[in-house]
Amino acid sequence: MFKYQTQLLITKMQVNIGLIGIGTIGAGVVKILGKNSKLIEQRTGVKLNLKKVCDVKLDNAKSLGLKPEQLTKNADDIFKDKSISIVMELIGGYEPAHTFIMKAIKAKKHVVTANKAVIAKYGKEIFEAAVKNKVNVKFEAAVGGCIPIIRALQHSYVSQNIKKIYGILNGTTNFILTRMEEGMSYEDALRKAQQLGFAEADPSFDVEGKDASQKLGILAMLSFNSWIDTEIRTEGITRLSKNDLIYADELGYKIKLLGIAKKDDNEIELRVHPTMIPKSHGLAAVKNELNAVYISGEDTGEGMLYGKGAGQMPTATVVVGDVVDIARNLDCASKIDMSNKLKIKDSSLIKSKYYLKFTVLDKPGVLAKIATILGNNNISIAAVAQKEIEKDIVPVIIITHTAIERDLIKAVKEINSLPIVKNETVLIRIEDLG
């Protein structure tokens, strides 16, 4: 018997990289390159050399042990250096990040970014410039932290006709909702998130759903091969109370801030809002600051990826992964197809079941008046519950059958105008996921 022995031969090469932005994620990248460069070289044959680091303030860079010759306050020092093949943009925001990315591309340099805002707003321009200049742009860390969702869509699901995506795309809101499930008020849960560093001093971008909306636009672009240039219907979690989460639990649901993307023929349905989902579904078990993306493909069926959606080292790990991916294929250029001209569905025409919480006077005939208005607007009631008794003002919970959003909004507006209604009605959409 003959024995054959195979040996993996890895050709070693050095790739020079530049880093713009030495904040939280940038510092994490420096730490990873410092402690794991040998591991990267062992596994891939690529030796990453951090040649230049740029920031307007270099104290953080110096504290990380970077040498003076590696540091600059002028980003052009990176763009003009012909030996640098890959540029990491980690400053965030729209400008000057957008300008720096475009300068790097025009200088024939590959780009890695974690900047969801720039990709969501300027992605079409960036990807077209990358193709023209024969360079690659990677942005795995822009959505979902260390969840490899971008790579999954571009590689594992490349042959799939994706039908639906549901995403818990913001760790701050998921942390807050988890604490509210445990009995905290929204205000106390937010304060806790801020104390632990999960929420900013001004948390509006997260809690109003804007962060999740940008990420959903990127996922929809990749899934449906269509540039998303329409503002996504977005609602945040600020109007939810802990009682809403308690009532949802009693009804067999959990409330999550979901990004939802659905494709039906030549229309895309895009929305971000608090959503009630069955407690038995995998997304309902995603707690604290974790993120998750649930994908439904024509041939693959349903699948879910989840993990840490933020944090210095998880996000920096993904950034370095993108750098290594490019370094192993320096001759590869970006190819992101956005040729489909799909229509964004009018959000008033979506169909859903609804949870409605009315705060009303406890007197005879109240429920009859509400039911009449709902019925007159083609809305059928599936369940009713009055949560408190022997009080002058009580919450009344109604679960509807599937209805058209336009009809539901019209009915709620009419009900809110009744003198028996004392607070604005809380409306939460229900997705009965399999």
- Tell me the C-alpha to C-alpha distance, in Å, between residue 45 and each of 40, 79, 254, 282: 7, 25, 46, 38
Between CA 9 and CA 19, with CA 13 as vertex, the angle to 5 degrees is 135
Position 5 scores a pLDDT of 46
Band (pLDDT 50/70/90 cuts) for residue 273 is very high
CA gap 316, 25 in Å, rounded: 5
Mean pLDDT of the region 82-93: 96
The full set of domains in the chain, from first to last, is 13-142 (3.40.50.720), 149-309 (3.30.360.10), 347-430 (3.30.70.260)
| pLDDT tens column, 111-139 | 999 999 999 999 999 999 999 999 999 99
pLDDT digits (tens, 9 = 90+) for 184-237: 999 999 999 999 888 889 999 999 999 999 999 999 999 998 888 888 999 999
| pLDDT of 198 | 87
Identify the band that residue 70 occupies on the pLDDT scale cut at 50, 70 and 90.
Answer: very high
3 pLDDT more than 50:
no
What confidence score (pLDDT) does residue 390 get?
A: 64
* pLDDT surpasses 90 at 4: no
How many CB atoms within 10 Å of residue 429? 21
- Whether residue 6 has pLDDT greater than 70: no
Contact 412, 375 (CB under 8 A): no
Report strand pairing: 253-264 vs 162-168. Answer: antiparallel
**Which pair of structure tokens corresponds to residue 27?**
């510092």
Residue 82: per-residue pLDDT: 96
Enumerate residues 6+ apart whose C-beta is below 8 A from 198.
171, 172, 175, 289, 310
Sign of CA dihedral 149, 143, 211, 225: negative
Residue 296 has pLDDT above 70, yes or no: yes
Overall residue count recorded for the chain in this entry = 434
For tokens 């989460």, name the residue: 245
DSSP labels, 18-81:
EEE--SHHHHHHHHHHHHHHHHHHHHHSEEEEEEEEE-S--HHHHHTT--GGGEES-THHHHT-
Token reading at 164 = 């639906």
Check residue 272 and report its DSSP letter. E
In the chain, what percentage of residues exceed pLDDT 70?
A: 97
Rounded CA-CA distance 89/57 in Å is 15
Q: pLDDT tens-digit profile of 154-189?
A: 888 888 889 999 999 999 999 999 999 999 999 999
Catalytic center residues? 215
Query: Taking the C-alpha atoms of 420, 421, 422 and 426 in order, what is their torsion angle to the nearest 10 degrees?
Result: 160
The sign of the torsion formed by the CA atoms of 11, 12, 18, 22 equals positive
pLDDT digits (tens, 9 = 90+) for 21-59: 999 999 999 999 999 999 999 999 999 999 999 999 888
260 with 272: CB under 8 angstroms? yes
Please give the distance of CA 321 from its chain centroid, rounded to a whole number.
Answer: 19
Distances (CA, A) of 222 to 23, 115, 128, 141, 308: 28, 16, 15, 15, 21
Query: Can you tell me which residue has the tokens 């900047």?
Result: 115
End-to-end CA distance of the chain: 53
C-alpha to C-alpha distance for 6 and 21, rounded to whole angstroms = 43
- pLDDT above 90: residue 107: yes
Kindly state the tokens that stand for 147.
């969840």
The neighbour count for residue 35, using CB atoms within 10 Å, is: 9
Contact 391, 363 (CB under 8 A): no
Mean pLDDT of the chain: 92
